[in-house]
Structure 1
Amino acid sequence: MAPELSPEQQRDFEAAAFRRLLAHLSHRSDVQNIDLMNLAGFCRNCLANWYREAANGAGQVMSKDEAREIVYGMPYADWQAKHQTEASPEQKAAFETTHPHDH
């Protein structure tokens, strides 16, 4: 059974877990977004979208590029240039199988 947490503790712990996830994904730049999508059904861009939706829902206007910079730790174009590779035919085929309507 989970311990009883105050709303502030829950928020703080969730924020810490999110920051650790971002650090982990930053460290694992070898893992491509398509791999994340194929295996887990979400990727770094999804995290950025969820972050932006939360910010906008709270009245903080945030663009897609601003949210992506928070998640990627740099402008998205810079991350793509440094780390993104062309998806292999196998990765593309797996994406078509697991997410046929996502693009």
Structure 2
Amino acid sequence: MSCSEDRGDGTDALDTLDDAVAAAAFRRLVRLLRHRHDAANIDLMGLAGFCRNCLGDWIAEAGGIDKETGRAIIHGMPAAEWKARYHVTATPEQLRRMEESMAKNP
């Protein structure tokens, strides 16, 4: 059974995951992304179809807060500061990969 398949009873195993476990895994992911500044958002988008900003936007949407606050939670600093420190200009190839990857998203 893949991670996204239902369990045969119409439920997705992800939906039955304990919230504390899910939160711990999420925090670990965010801390890894905060540490790995070398993993550029454009490359994350090209490989996985999401990036740090997406995570921040999802937090904002789920929590009823503004996007800048959600992004700051993920970046560990205001998004503008993170961008000034770590943002790299995307190459045409990176943009192409991102567009292809995003097209695969639900």
Q: Deviations over 1:52-100 (max 9, x none)?
A: 11112xxxxx111111100100000110011111112221222233336
- Look up the SS of the partner of 2:18 in the other structure: helix
- The answer to whether structure 1 residue 75 and structure 2 residue 83 are counterparts is no
**Unpaired stretches in structure 2, ≥5 consecutive residues:** 1-15
Aligned length: 88
| CA distance in 2: counterparts of 1:50 and 1:98, whole angstroms | 18
CA RMSD of aligned residues (A): 1.8
**Unpaired stretches in structure 1, ≥5 consecutive residues:** 1-6, 57-61
Q: CA deviation at 1:11?
A: 1.1
Task: Calculate the TM-score normalised by the size of structure 1.
Answer: 0.77
Q: Deviations over 1:8-27 (max 9, x none)?
A: x8111111111100100011
Aligned match of 2:68: 65
Aligned residue identity for 2:67: K
Aligned match of 1:3: none
Segments of 4+ in structure 1 off by > 2 A?
95-100
Task: Calculate the TM-score normalised by the size of structure 2.
Answer: 0.75
